[in-house]
Every structure is written in structure tokens, then in C-alpha cells.
Amino acid sequence: MPTQDQQSPKAALNSKLREFFLDQLRDIYWAEQKLVKTLPKLSEAAHSDDLRAAFDSHLIETEGHVSRLEQVFTLLGEKAKAVECPALKGIAEEGEDIIDETEDNTAQRDVGLIFAGQKAEHYEIATYGSLKQLAKDMDQTEIADLLNQTLTEEKAANDKLTELATSGINREAAAEIAD
């Protein structure tokens, strides 16, 4: 008879790992819902049309991330429940501070918005990457695939923000004269 350490990955569905996994799903579910509310504010504050379009496009993806997480909860036989994510809450507040502390219609503000956006993306990339691996370790292939779809989109959004920064927004901000 196998010991607890030798049980199959499916046995993990009744484990502390499953509880941790659910806690992290609840955290990122809250974060995604927060981003659905935050991305329109970032878009509205953006000076660059391209940055505004990137935020608008990612809002549509983020709404899909919320739906995808709801599918994950369903596959686990759990009710979708959000628990406040202190990390994303702080990142969103920082984004609001950037808007409050920078001048309208400036590349400087856009640089700050890109910073805030990338901080959120990096948090999401780390979370989805870890959740995907845990799903694989628990032999939850369908869930791992869903999480990987979101991970891929988060990486692409981050890459888009980097492209916008390096293709001109940073140089434009460097040319703005400080008061």
C-alpha cells in the first residue's frame, strides 16, 4: 500500500495543496475583477492613442480571464468566490496615484501608466504560471490549459506595454520639459 507521499497526483484534490490552490484562485479572481474596473481609468488617462488602445484591448481580454476563472471554479466543483488581493489592490492604488500626480496629456503620465500596467502584468504572470504548474501537479490538465491561455495573454499584454514604452513614449517623456 502506497504511503501518503507516494499517492497519485489525483489524491491531491483533497489536500492542503488543493486548499492553497483555491485560495490563490480566489485571489487572482478578485484581481481580475479589480482590473476590469481599473483598466478603463488607465485608458481614459492615457495620452497616447496606442496606449489607450492597448488598455482597451486588454480590458476585453481581462473580462475573458474572469470568465475563464469561473470555468476553473466550475471544473473544481467550487463556487466562484473572490477574496481581496492585497498585491493587486496596491498596484491599482499606485496607478491611481500616478494619474493624480502627473499632468494630463503628457508622455510622463503614459510612462507611469505603463509602469503600473506592467506591475500588474508581472503579478499576473507569476500567479498564472504558478497556478498552471499546480494544476499540472494535481493532474488537472484542462484547468492547466485554461490557466495557460490566460498566462499567454498576460505575457503578450506585458510585451505590448514594453513595445509602446521603447518605441517612443519613453523618448517623448524624456523630451518634455519639467516645470
pLDDT at 178: 82
Total domain count, the chain = 1
**Does some domain include residue 7?**
no
Owning domain of residue 118: 15-174
Residue 4 clears pLDDT 80, i.e. is over it: no
Which grid coordinates belong to 84?
A: 481581496
**Does some domain include residue 92?**
yes
**Does some domain include residue 6?**
no
Which grid coordinates belong to 59?
A: 480590458
For residue 147, the domain's CATH number is 1.20.1260.10
In whole numbers, what is the pLDDT of the chain averaged over residues?
92
pLDDT tens digit string along 134-174?
999 998 999 999 999 999 999 999 999 999 999 999 999 99
Report, as an integer, the average pLDDT of 48-68. Answer: 97
Q: What is the pTM of this model?
A: 0.90
* Residue % of the chain over a pLDDT of 70: 92
Residue found under cell 508581472: 122
**Does some domain include residue 136?**
yes
**Does some domain include residue 3?**
no
pLDDT at 54: 97
**Does some domain include residue 1?**
no
**Does some domain include residue 44?**
yes
pLDDT at 1: 43
**Does some domain include residue 8?**
no
In DSSP notation, 46-111 reads -SSHHHHHHHHHHHHHHHHHHHHHHHHHHHTT--------HHHHHHHHHHHHHHHHS-TT-HHHHH
pLDDT tens digit string along 72-130?
999 999 999 999 999 999 999 999 999 999 999 999 999 999 999 999 999 999 999 99
